[in-house]
């Protein structure tokens, strides 16, 4: 008997020590959810259609280029409404043989329907692959950006294995607007040759008959006065094909322009440098447009041969220049991004709710503890020890599992503590009943526990079963609830059945012939 | 000390009175939900954008509404949050039909235009980095050097101001900055001159687009349905089908009445509210299982006694436990309800109602249903025996 008790206490001590080890220091081990700590939670969707469309556009340009080179400029080349393919109407003089050769060479990833008109649609598995890559690249890019921004303990992950959604959680961020801009800016940088510049779109296109030539496009840019204020708009006719793009960048950082205003300077990788060098050498005196996300930031004249670096000027604040440099370094997003969900909790709201919740929780628990002592006297101490242990073990388990404590999670804790108290009450009431029937103290305790045992198991398992389903099917907060509930109930079974009983037995072993029990 | 000791209340004798009362209450709840004002879905399920704002003084709700309606996006509802002295409001705006996107920034910008000042520094809205950069630009301390040196110089000051904001929610004026030791006198003077202590600060922002809203609704329904089903099967397996059905009907009864109370108080249903309802279901089932367990035990000990008597005995035997446990947990959630602050208020409210209803339903809904069904099954069996 004595030896058995020693073993029991050793087990309790070991479990408690493990729990204390895993819960301390509290602020490091117990991760509070954003609803308690403050921060920003975003769910965003990568618009993978953009990436597919870009691929289709590329293929169209390749086909156009080849056919034009052979002297068969197609009469119509247009993207299908769903973005998955394009329609080609060959010019009357096109040789069928040459056309087929171009198609075979250039469109291996397309299902091509050859007739008088030709429709090419992207093969399903290729499209799927492009979409998947877009999400993975997007994830990588966003991770890069956030890493460089410097947030501690960020969570950036894909929602589900197949989906096009990304979840971003950034604790403690105090400027949500800036972070959102930082994440969602496509940051697609291109440098394009400028054909002409005009104050209005009409004036710009007057020379080419009101329509941009096939190989060119119209972009706009802001005009700034000497102090960097936007004073109007300007229109640029630029070549579609860019000299270099963001992919050719090696690095970007905040710097200053010749007036001491914030600007972003960049350096090119060897391949980009070669292209840029060749282009600038051949076009001294011409203007080139620095285009960011389809907007002209500036359009300097080429004053000399430039090989591997450049500067983006424009209306920047220090922070703006820094953020742009950051997104350029981290790379462009392969597709645009839409925010599906945003949750921002200011730290003051979080702190306030923690403080008040804790105060209220302590008031409640003290009430329970006092009642147990008054109502069950000596046995009340027993119950209170089990309760405190319950709380310690629960915190330890949360720390060990790396689970996050959220508001609904605390709901789970409350339910757990309620059921732990209930288990003690069940046992004590049973013991009292048995004592009343005239059983000896030892028998009453033993019977009380064994009778209440079945009930405790039933109540706990019923709730655990439902909690498991909640975990399986629930989202964020409901899941958090299910986790603390399940863990808490397992612990509650341990404390109310094993620990509480061990305390009783120890008490009995000290007074072998106990006639009375303080209960 | 003992309460409710050796009671001999004949609970089941009056079961019909209580069942009728419960049915009426449930019908009222159904009426309220489906034909009355209806459940108020919070931003989690209804979608849209919700801002929690703290104002310096009593906010002019008409101006808030005007500023947001001028955006021409969606319906705006404004609601007080927390006690009046906190000057906090919840502003909810529907996203334009079926649209996804970031409406938070647009709403904040509109409010800033209405309540903000002309100055560049908005003490109550700016992030710490932006504040640091503005100070580095203006350089009231004449620290000189490069941008980065000046930034390093002003970083601690910007952080101190954000720290103050975290504490008080909204900085009311320059005199509150006077208490910040981290600020240099020149910076303090500069801010008093140039900063605008806007009327409000954004404590929280939630934006739930239609896709996520639908997803949350669906998953919540799946989670709750399957967990109820799991419970039913477990109780069926451990007891009998009629007991499982009794427990589940009791759960519906409790949830309906609590939902009715949520309609009456017009509290919004959000994910944490669902967690609270699930907690209530947990309590209610726990209570029911304790009684069922006692019934099963007694049935084994005293074969031949009518079920109705056994049930009464079981309920009486567990009565003191029922009252103590429910009373204690009720005291805890009451403490949360009174002192817990507004964030968990709805949560606590659900449990304050739910524990009372859940305790009652174990006795007067779950047990009578199990009793009625058992008697009916018994009757059919004996009828079949007689026919043979």
- What secondary structure does DSSP assign to A388-420, as a single string? HHHHHHHHHHHHHHT-EE-HHHHHHHHHHHHHH
Instruction: Say if residue A46's pLDDT is above 60.
Output: yes
Residues 6 or more apart whose CB falls under 8 angstroms from that of A124 comprise none
Are residues B282 and B379 both part of a single domain?
Answer: yes
For A175, which of B127, B324, B340 is closest by C-beta distance? B127
Contacts of B325 in chain A (CB under 8 A): 418, 421-422, 425
The C-alpha of A319 sits at a distance from chain B's nearest C-alpha, in angstroms, of 7
Instruction: Say if residue B183's pLDDT is above 90.
Output: no
Q: Indicate whether B2 belongs to any domain.
A: no
| Residue at a domain's end among A294, A310, A342 | A342
ipTM summary value: 0.78
Q: Which residues of B266-287 are buried (b: 16+ CB within 10 A; e: fewer)?
A: ebbbbbbbbbbbbbbbbbbbbb
Q: Indicate whether A44 belongs to any domain.
A: no
What percent of chain A shows pLDDT beyond 70? 96
Instruction: For residue B182, give the DSSP letter.
Output: T
Q: Is A518 on the interface with B (CB under 8 A)?
A: no
Whether residues A463 and B347 touch (CB distance < 8 A) is answered with no
Pairing of strands A249-256, A244-245: unpaired
The H-or-E segment that residue A251 falls in is strand A249-256
Are residues A103 and A216 both part of a single domain?
Answer: no
Instruction: Say if residue A178's pLDDT is above 90.
Output: no
The C-alpha of B158 sits at a distance from chain A's nearest C-alpha, in angstroms, of 12
Q: Is A102 helix (H, G, I), strand (E, B) or coil?
A: helix
Q: Specify which residues A218 forms β-bridges with.
A: A237
Between residues B101 and B298, which one has the greater pLDDT? B298
In the numeric block, the tokens 């002295």 are attached to B85
B-facing residues of A in 147-206 (CB < 8 A) are 173-178, 180, 184
| Residue at a domain's end among A68, A92, A122 | A122
Q: What are the structure tokens assigned to B369, written together? A: 């249903």
In whole angstroms, what is the distance from residue A484 CA to residue A471 CA? 10
Instruction: Provide the domain count of chain A.
Output: 3
Q: Indicate whether A273 belongs to any domain.
A: yes
In the numeric block, the tokens 């690249």 are attached to A137
For B209, which of A341, A451, A481 is closest by C-beta distance? A341
Q: What are the structure tokens assigned to A247, written together? A: 């992919």
What confidence score (pLDDT) does residue B84 get? 72
What confidence score (pLDDT) does residue B261 get? 94
The C-alpha of A515 sits at a distance from chain B's nearest C-alpha, in angstroms, of 19
Are residues B354 and B296 both part of a single domain?
Answer: yes
Q: Indicate whether A143 belongs to any domain.
A: no
What confidence score (pLDDT) does residue B370 get? 92
Looking at residues A3-17, what average pLDDT do you find? 89
Least confident stretch, A215-219, A501-505, B244-248: A215-219
For A408, which of B105, B219, B271 is closest by C-beta distance? B271
CATH code of the domain containing A239: 3.30.1360.200
Are residues B82 and B129 both part of a single domain?
Answer: yes
Interface test with B, best of A148, A410, A437, A458 (most B CBs within 10 A): A458
Are residues A390 and A322 both part of a single domain?
Answer: no
Pairing of strands B40-41, B268-269: parallel
For A455, which of B281, B290, B332 is closest by C-beta distance? B290
Instruction: Provide the domain count of chain B.
Output: 2
Contact (Cβ atoms closer than 8 angstroms) between residue B247 and residue B295: no
Domain that holds residue B266: 11-43+209-387
Instruction: Say if residue A226's pLDDT is above 70.
Output: no
Are residues B163 and B271 both part of a single domain?
Answer: no
Are residues A389 and A276 both part of a single domain?
Answer: no
Contact (Cβ atoms closer than 8 angstroms) between residue A337 and residue A181: no
Contacts of B344 in chain A (CB under 8 A): 353, 356-357, 360, 407, 410
Are residues B76 and B117 both part of a single domain?
Answer: yes
Are residues A323 and A406 both part of a single domain?
Answer: no
Are residues B201 and B215 both part of a single domain?
Answer: no
Instruction: Say if residue A512's pLDDT is above 70.
Output: no
Q: Indicate whether A171 belongs to any domain.
A: no
What percent of chain B shows pLDDT beyond 90? 22
Are residues A374 and A459 both part of a single domain?
Answer: yes
Instruction: Say if residue A97's pLDDT is above 60.
Output: yes
Interface test with B, best of A176, A260, A338, A455 (most B CBs within 10 A): A455
| Residue at a domain's end among B172, B207, B242 | B207
pLDDT digits over A425-458, tens only?
Answer: 889 988 988 888 888 888 888 899 998 888 898 8
Are residues B216 and B321 both part of a single domain?
Answer: yes
Q: Rounded mean pLDDT of chain A? A: 84
Are residues A334 and A468 both part of a single domain?
Answer: no
Residue B123 binned pLDDT confidence (cut-offs 50, 70, 90): confident
Whether residues B339 and A338 touch (CB distance < 8 A) is answered with no
Q: Where are the alpha helices (DSSP H) in chain B?
A: 15-30, 43-46, 61-69, 104-115, 128-138, 147-168, 174-177, 185-194, 210-238, 241-265, 271-301, 307-317, 319-339, 345-361, 367-387
In whole angstroms, what is the distance from residue A120 CA to residue A140 CA? 31
Contact (Cβ atoms closer than 8 angstroms) between residue A271 and residue A248: yes
In whole angstroms, what is the distance from residue A10 CA to residue A445 CA? 22
Residue A204 binned pLDDT confidence (cut-offs 50, 70, 90): confident
What confidence score (pLDDT) does residue B20 get? 93
The dihedral built from the CA positions of residue B217, B219, B222 and B223, taken in this order, carries a sign that is negative
In whole angstroms, what is the distance from residue B27 CA to residue B24 CA? 5
| Residue at a domain's end among A307, A342, A377 | A342
Residue A347 binned pLDDT confidence (cut-offs 50, 70, 90): low
In whole angstroms, what is the distance from residue A409 CA to residue A77 CA? 57
Are residues B178 and B106 both part of a single domain?
Answer: yes
Q: Is A387 helix (H, G, I), strand (E, B) or coil?
A: helix
Are residues A299 and A367 both part of a single domain?
Answer: no
The alpha carbon of B274 is separated from its chain's Cα centroid by a whole number of angstroms, namely 7
Q: Indicate whether A260 belongs to any domain.
A: yes
Residue A173 binned pLDDT confidence (cut-offs 50, 70, 90): confident
Please give the C-alpha separations between residue B91 and each of A229, B42, B65, B104, in angstroms, as whole numbers. 34, 11, 9, 11
Q: Indicate whether B272 belongs to any domain.
A: yes
Interface test with B, best of A45, A465, A468, A480 (most B CBs within 10 A): A465
Whether residues B2 and A432 touch (CB distance < 8 A) is answered with yes
Between residues B257 and B301, which one has the greater pLDDT? B257
Contact (Cβ atoms closer than 8 angstroms) between residue A180 and residue A342: yes
Residue A10 binned pLDDT confidence (cut-offs 50, 70, 90): very high
Please give the C-alpha separations between residue A340 and each of A3, A164, A167, A496, in angstroms, as whole numbers. 61, 11, 10, 45
Are residues A359 and A492 both part of a single domain?
Answer: yes
Least confident stretch, A139-143, B13-17, B139-143, B322-326: B139-143
Are residues B143 and B213 both part of a single domain?
Answer: no
B-facing residues of A in 468-487 (CB < 8 A) are 468-470, 472-478, 481, 485
In whole angstroms, what is the distance from residue B190 CA to residue B158 CA? 13
Looking at residues A467-490, what average pLDDT do you find? 84
pLDDT digits over A268-311, tens only?
Answer: 888 888 888 988 888 888 888 888 888 888 888 888 888 788 88
Are residues B270 and B321 both part of a single domain?
Answer: yes
Are residues A444 and A325 both part of a single domain?
Answer: no
Instruction: Say if residue B70's pLDDT is above 80.
Output: yes
Strand order of the β-sheet with A118-122 is A76-79, A85-89, A118-122, A110-113
Whether residues B129 and A175 touch (CB distance < 8 A) is answered with yes
Instruction: Say if residue B119's pLDDT is above 60.
Output: no
Total residues belonging to chain B:
388
Q: How many CB pairs under 8 A join A and B?
A: 273
Residue of B nearest to A466 (CA): B227
Are residues B148 and B274 both part of a single domain?
Answer: no
Are residues A236 and A313 both part of a single domain?
Answer: yes
The C-alpha of A360 sits at a distance from chain B's nearest C-alpha, in angstroms, of 5
Least confident stretch, A59-68, A278-287, A420-429: A59-68
The dihedral built from the CA positions of residue A28, A31, A37 and A38, taken in this order, carries a sign that is positive
Are residues A85 and A20 both part of a single domain?
Answer: no
Closest CA to A419 of B358, B221, B344: B358
Whether residues A360 and B286 touch (CB distance < 8 A) is answered with no
Q: Is A378 on the interface with B (CB under 8 A)?
A: no
Q: Indicate whether B282 belongs to any domain.
A: yes
Least confident stretch, A80-94, A346-360, B148-162, B322-336: A346-360
In whole angstroms, what is the distance from residue A330 CA to residue A187 CA? 9
Are residues B225 and B203 both part of a single domain?
Answer: no
Domain that holds residue A379: 2-36+346-510
């Amino acid at each position: 008997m004595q030896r058995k008790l020693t073993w029991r206490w050793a087990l309790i001590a070991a479990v408690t020590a493990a729990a204390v080890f895993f819960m301390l220091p509290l602020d490091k081990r117990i991760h509070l959810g954003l609803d308690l700590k403050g921060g920003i939670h975003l769910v965003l969707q990568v618009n993978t259609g953009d990436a597919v469309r870009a691929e289709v556009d590329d293929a169209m340009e390749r086909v156009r280029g080849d056919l034009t080179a052979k002297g068969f400029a197609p009469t119509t080349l247009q993207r299908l409404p769903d973005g998955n393919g394009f329609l080609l109407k060959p010019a009357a003089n096109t040789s069928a043989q040459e056309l087929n050769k171009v198609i075979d060479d250039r469109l291996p990833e397309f299902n091509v329907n050859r007739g008088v008109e030709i429709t090419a649609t992207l093969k399903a598995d290729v499209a799927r692959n492009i979409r998947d890559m877009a999400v993975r690249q997007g994830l990588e890019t966003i991770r890069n950006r956030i890493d460089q921004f410097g947030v501690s303990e960020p969570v950036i992950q894909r929602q589900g294995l197949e989906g096009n959604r990304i979840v971003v959680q950034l604790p403690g961020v105090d400027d949500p607007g800036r972070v959102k801009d930082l994440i969602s800016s496509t940051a697609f940088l291109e440098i394009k040759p400028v054909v002409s510049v005009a104050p209005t779109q009409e004036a710009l296109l007057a020379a080419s008959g009101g329509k941009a030539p096939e190989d060119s496009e119209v972009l706009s840019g802001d005009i700034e006065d000497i102090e960097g204020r936007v004073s109007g708009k300007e229109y640029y006719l630029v070549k579609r094909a860019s000299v270099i793009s963001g992919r050719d960048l090696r690095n970007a950082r905040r710097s200053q322009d010749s007036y001491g205003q914030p600007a972003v300077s960049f350096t090119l990788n060897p391949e980009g440098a070669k292209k840029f060098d060749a282009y600038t050498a051949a076009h001294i005196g011409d203007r080139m447009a620095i285009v960011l996300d389809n907007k002209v930031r500036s359009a300097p004249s080429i004053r000399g041969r430039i090989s591997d670096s450049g500067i983006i000027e424009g209306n920047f604040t220090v922070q703006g220049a820094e953020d742009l440099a950051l997104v350029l370094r981290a790379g462009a997003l392969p597709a645009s991004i839409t925010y599906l969900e945003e949750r921002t909790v200011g730290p003051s709201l979080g702190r306030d709710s923690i403080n008040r919740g804790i105060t209220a929780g302590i008031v409640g628990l003290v009430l329970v503890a006092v009642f147990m002592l008054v109502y069950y006297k000596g046995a009340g101490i027993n119950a209170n020890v089990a309760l405190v242990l319950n709380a310690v073990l629960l915190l330890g388990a949360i720390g060990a599992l790396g689970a996050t404590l959220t508001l609904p999670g605390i709901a789970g804790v409350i339910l757990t503590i309620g059921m732990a108290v209930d288990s003690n009450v069940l046992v004590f009431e049973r013991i009292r009943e048995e004592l009343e029937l005239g059983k000896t103290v030892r028998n009453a305790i033993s019977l009380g526990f064994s009778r209440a045992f079945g009930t405790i198991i039933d109540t706990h398992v019923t709730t655990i079963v439902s909690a498991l389903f909640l975990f399986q099917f629930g989202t964020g907060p409901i899941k958090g609830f299910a986790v603390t509930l399940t863990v808490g109930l397992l612990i509650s079974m341990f404390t109310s059945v094993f620990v509480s009983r061990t305390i009783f037995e120890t008490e009995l072993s000290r007074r072998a012939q106990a006639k009375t029990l303080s209960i | 000390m003992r309460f409710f000791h050796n009671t001999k209340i004949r609970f089941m004798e009056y079961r019909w009175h209580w069942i009728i009362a419960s049915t009426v209450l449930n019908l009222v709840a159904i009426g309220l939900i489906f034909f009355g004002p209806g459940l108020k879905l919070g931003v989690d399920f209804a979608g849209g954008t919700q801002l929690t704002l703290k104002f310096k003084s009593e906010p002019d709700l008409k101006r808030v509404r005007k500023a947001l309606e001028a955006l021409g996006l969606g319906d705006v509802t404004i609601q007080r949050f927390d006690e009046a002295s906190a000057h906090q409001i919840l502003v909810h705006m529907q996203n334009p039909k079926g649209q996804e996107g970031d409406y938070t920034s647009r709403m904040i910008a509109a409010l800033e235009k209405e309540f903000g000042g002309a100055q560049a520094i908005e003490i109550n809205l700016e992030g710490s980095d932006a504040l640091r950069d503005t100070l580095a630009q203006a350089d009231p301390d004449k620290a000189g050097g490069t941008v980065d040196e000046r930034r390093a110089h002003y970083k601690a000051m910007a952080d101190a101001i954000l720290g103050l904001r975290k504490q008080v929610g909204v900085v009311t004026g320059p005199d509150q900055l006077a208490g910040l030791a981290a600020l240099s006198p020149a910076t303090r003077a500069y801010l008093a001159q140039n900063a605008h202590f806007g009327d409000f600060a954004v404590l929280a922002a939630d934006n739930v687009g239609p896709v996520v809203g639908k997803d949350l609704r669906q998953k919540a329904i799946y989670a709750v349905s399957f967990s109820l089903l799991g419970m039913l099967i477990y109780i069926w397996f451990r007891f009998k089908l009629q007991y499982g059905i009794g427990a589940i009907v009791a759960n519906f009864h409790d949830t309906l009445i609590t939902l009715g109370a949520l309609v009456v108080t017009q509290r919004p249903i959000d994910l944490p509210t669902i967690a609270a309802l699930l907690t209530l279901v947990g309590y209610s089932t726990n209570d029911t299982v304790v009684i069922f367990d006692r019934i099963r035990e007694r049935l084994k000990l005293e074969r031949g006694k009518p079920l109705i008597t056994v049930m009464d005995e079981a309920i009486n035997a567990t009565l003191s436990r029922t009252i103590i446990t429910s009373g204690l947990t009720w005291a805890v959630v009451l403490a949360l309800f009174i002192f817990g602050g507004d964030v968990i208020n709805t949560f606590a409210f659900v449990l304050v109602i739910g524990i009372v209803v859940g305790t009652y339903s174990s006795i007067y809904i779950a047990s009578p249903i199990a009793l009625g069904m058992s008697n009916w099954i018994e009757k059919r069996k004996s009828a079949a025996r007689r026919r043979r």
